[in-house]
Amino acid sequence: MAIDSTQSSSYLQSLPAIFTEDPLLGRFLLVFEQVLTGLEGGEGEPRRGLEQIIAAIPTLFDPLATPPEFLQWLAGWVALGLRADWREDQQRQFLANIVPLYRRRGTKQNLIELLKIYTGLEPKIAEGGNTVFQIYDHSTVGVDTQINGSAPHYFRVTVNIPNPDPATLLRQNQIIRALIDLEKPAHTAYDYYPTHTTMQIGVHSQVGVDTLLGDLP
């Protein structure tokens, strides 16, 4: 740390006048002043002093103001991660909105909102209920109807993934399942049903591009 030999510390103004007679004391105090307040005394931009660093600590907890390297750290506070393909502004907006959602963790609405944020899709969650057996409408046991009533603490998540390519479809399914496993109450069970656009000539007709044949991966 280089210091101008002609520069003197402003701290001398807080000492009795007799101390200003010794220029060595002014340069000696300048070292401490630079450490504490970040006075310019070397090459490049002035470094922040300890006082500025301490005063700026609250900004580390503000997702809109914190340095980029702290964004993942803030996400860890609410037990979530940031998608690698999000822009920095998307990551900041996610963190700014996630804390209010965290207070509703484990609820249906919280899971819906998280799935919307992470995937950009519109999930539907149906909680357990007794479904009357009806041919062609509710007739698949374990899927849309139950014998002798529905399973307790059970819900179904349905997400329509339009025009998926195989890589996007696989990634979205992984994200959705990981979020459900992370956010659902521990005593609950669920089934996840991804849906996709059916083939329609001239509209959705390219296999592997905007429509799929067979089961979803």
Residue 207 lies in a domain: yes
- Are 29 and 71 in a shared domain? no
Q: Quick one: 26 and 96 in the same domain?
A: no
Residue 4 lies in a domain: no
Domain count, the chain: 3
Nearest to 3 by CA among 39, 36, 49: 39
Domain hosting residue 45, numbered range: 10-55
pLDDT digits (tens, 9 = 90+) for 167-215: 888 888 898 999 899 888 888 889 998 887 655 455 445 565 555 555 5
Predicted confidence at residue 85, as pLDDT, reads 81
Q: Is residue 126 part of a domain?
A: yes
211 in the same domain as 119: yes
List, for residues 52-78, the tens digit of each pLDDT value.
777 788 888 899 989 999 999 998 888
List, in sequence order, every beta strand (DSSP E) within the chain. Answer: 123-127, 154-160, 189-195
Percent of the chain with pLDDT over 90: 11
User: How many angstroms separate the CA atoms of 56 and 166, rounded?
Assistant: 46
pLDDT digits (tens, 9 = 90+) for 96-127: 888 778 888 888 998 999 899 888 889 999 88
Cα separation, 51 vs 63, whole angstroms: 22
Whole-Å CA distances, 84 to 19, 34, 91, 165, 206? 58, 39, 9, 19, 29
- Is 144 found in the same domain as 208? yes
- Tell me, yes or no, whether 42 and 127 share the same domain: no
